[in-house]
Chains A and B, each alone.
Chain A
């Protein structure tokens, strides 16, 4: 009976066995890349907000301190989203009839909060506390990036567990003097020496046990 497969098809056999290794390896590598990309983490994606509030304008250009709005960042887990009243402190006087700010005024009149879209949203099983990070000398910009250069806020970090652990395992690479925490543009040329000194001074342990975040 005639054979369906000519002997030359054996080459396909060999190539496919050999190629399968690369195909599977490549697919796994591709998945790992995809998993860390902005597509999966939403890093680098600016979010639309109910009011197009510009951090760049308020912080970078006008020089308002982070804590003017995020009042609880030094004392509690949450940095705090300001009430409409905080906006109105200024906007009752300036741009008081801008149509862009109408949702702010509407919120002020009715007492209903503006529903801002949360950009840095950790899973509910992660316990994160701003106050401890701030008081141990981790700058806002270390995690949030140059907020003072963003019109609409976007994540700059992947916010994946390996990213958290990177710092928790090597805090010396990221720690800065407490006075510089809120300075967006702070930079040192000798992080190694400064980090080692500050770790000691601030008594930073760099804990990476499960229950430090998953309580």
Chain B
């Protein structure tokens, strides 16, 4: 990697000498390449992989059934109705989009900030982003009721002589999410090219050499290739960086631009972005902790990584807690009876149990991350990450359902109850996510091989005239 090293690497190491290393000592270029590429190329596919894929794939089939039934019958099979016309579809959309954000943060912002520890987690975090955005995209499309007309959302010279309503955040969403998907896909693919070439060169089968060769797009690793590659990668990192902030800001506008109590708040954009990164890092930990164990990658995804991620989770979790606090404070400070009625409804209304569960899962339990002993226990980290994922889902449930079900006019109040099909869609999208992830693990290197090699002591360039 081109790091115009101002501080010699040894010195930087000594600054953080009390931390575990980013790569366990004793690895060579060959051993790194062997270790990572063997998962894809030579080693027998572990039985756990088949079991995992079977479970996720069954859930994907549940999604297929749910979507088919939905298309046949319409959105009435869900629990949505007036007043709660947005429910699981939007909750799950925001949840999945949020999860994706950690991938972009790791791949773009941490790259620009030269956080070398990102190297061993960025590849699968980016894959996670892509798959999460794919799951997220399903929901608004299906919520439209007639998804085959989804292209109406785009401004194109249509036969209706109409343009989309550009003043609506829902249209901004279309652009934000499709840009996000496109840039993430490009970033991920470009990052893969040198590794695809490695797989092409090492694959024992002709099919493997053909497919990886096709995808490697003629990569030969010449100095010119590397030069252009580094430039393209940096440019894309620069392009992705604003997306980390902008995508979820626009998602938050879906709510904040409306006048509904509980939605109409200026704190929403930063609070949503922090929540997205929070949920995203939790999901990276949920994936990384079992992966490093099952594939024996503890040398590459070390306790240092988990510790760093736990710290980011804790920090963003505090932002989110601040958001909750501000919502409550503003309900009182604004002096609006509707705002305070909403807060009372959150605390003691029919969905109060969900709200208190949210505070427990999202604010209380993650406080354990303050302790080094917790941060160095993979089991504890995994459980806390699961708690954050549940908590962030509950947060969106509270925002969407509790605000909608009782608005200004008591005569229009109602309740929302998820149906079997709501849950089937949700579980199904989790199945889709994990199915894609299992396929990714089997067919592509889950850790960037060439970037790992640059972290080895042997890769260091000695500067003669500093």
> Residues of A with Cβ closer than 8 Å to B?
1, 3-5, 7, 9-10, 13, 28, 32, 35-36, 158, 160-166
Contacts and interface: CB of A to CB of B under 8 A. Distances in A.
B218 A162 contact: no
A13 B161 contact: no
- Is the interface on chain B under 10, 10 to 19, 20 to 34, or 35 or more residues? 10 to 19
A162 B160 CA distance: 5
A10 B206 CA distance: 19
7 contacts: A5-B213, A5-B218, A10-B217, A28-B156, A32-B156, A32-B157, A165-B162
B201 interface: yes
B5 interface: no
Contacts of A13: 217-218
A161 B160 CA distance: 4
A1 B205 CA distance: 11
A28 B151 CA distance: 12
A3 B213 contact: yes
Given A7-B220, A162-B159, 8 more contacts: A9-B218, A32-B157, A158-B159, A160-B160, A161-B160, A162-B158, A164-B161, A166-B161
Interface in B182-214: 200-201, 206, 209-210, 213-214
Contacts of B214: 5
A196 to B, nearest CB: 23
Contacts of A10: 217-218
A161 B218 contact: no
B209 A1 contact: yes
Given A9-B218, A10-B218, A13-B218, A4 B210 contact: yes
Interface in B384-430: none
Contacts of B217: 10, 13
Contacts of B220: 7
A59 B159 CA distance: 33
Contacts of A164: 161
A165 B161 CA distance: 7
A7 B159 contact: no
A183 B209 CA distance: 75
Contacts of B206: 4
B161 A4 contact: no
Contacts of B201: 1
Given A7-B218, A13-B218, A161 B210 contact: no
Q: Considering residues A4, A10, A28, A160, which has the most beta carbons from chain B within 10 angstroms of its beta carbon?
A: A4
A161 B200 CA distance: 53
Contacts of B156: 28, 32
Given A1-B201, A4-B213, A5-B213, A161 B162 contact: yes
A36 B217 CA distance: 39
Contacts of B200: 3
A28 B159 CA distance: 13
The 3 closest A-B pairs by CB, nearest first: A162-B161, A10-B218, A165-B161
A166 B210 CA distance: 54
Nearest to A162: B161
Nearest to B160: A161
A36 B156 CA distance: 14
A81 B448 CA distance: 74
Nearest to B218: A10
A161 B159 CA distance: 6
A68 B191 CA distance: 75
A10 B219 CA distance: 9
Nearest to A169: B161
Contacts of B209: 1, 3-4
Interface in B129-169: 156-162
A5 B161 CA distance: 48
A42 to B, nearest CB: 13
Contacts of A165: 160-162
Nearest to B159: A160
A18 to B, nearest CB: 13
Nearest to B201: A1
A7 B222 CA distance: 13
A13 B160 CA distance: 38
B377 to A, nearest CB: 44
Contacts of A35: 159
A164 B159 CA distance: 10
A205 B218 CA distance: 63
A161 B152 CA distance: 14
A161 B158 CA distance: 9
Nearest to B211: A4
A19 to B, nearest CB: 15
Contacts of A28: 156
B161 A161 contact: yes
Q: Considering residues A5, A9, A164, A166, which has the most beta carbons from chain B within 10 angstroms of its beta carbon?
A: A5
A124 B220 CA distance: 62
A158 B161 CA distance: 13
Q: Considering residues B160, B209, B218, which has the most beta carbons from chain A within 10 angstroms of its beta carbon?
A: B218
A4 B203 CA distance: 12
A10 B213 CA distance: 11
Contacts of B160: 160-162, 165
A164 to B, nearest CB: 8
A165 B157 CA distance: 13
Nearest to B204: A1
Contacts of B158: 162
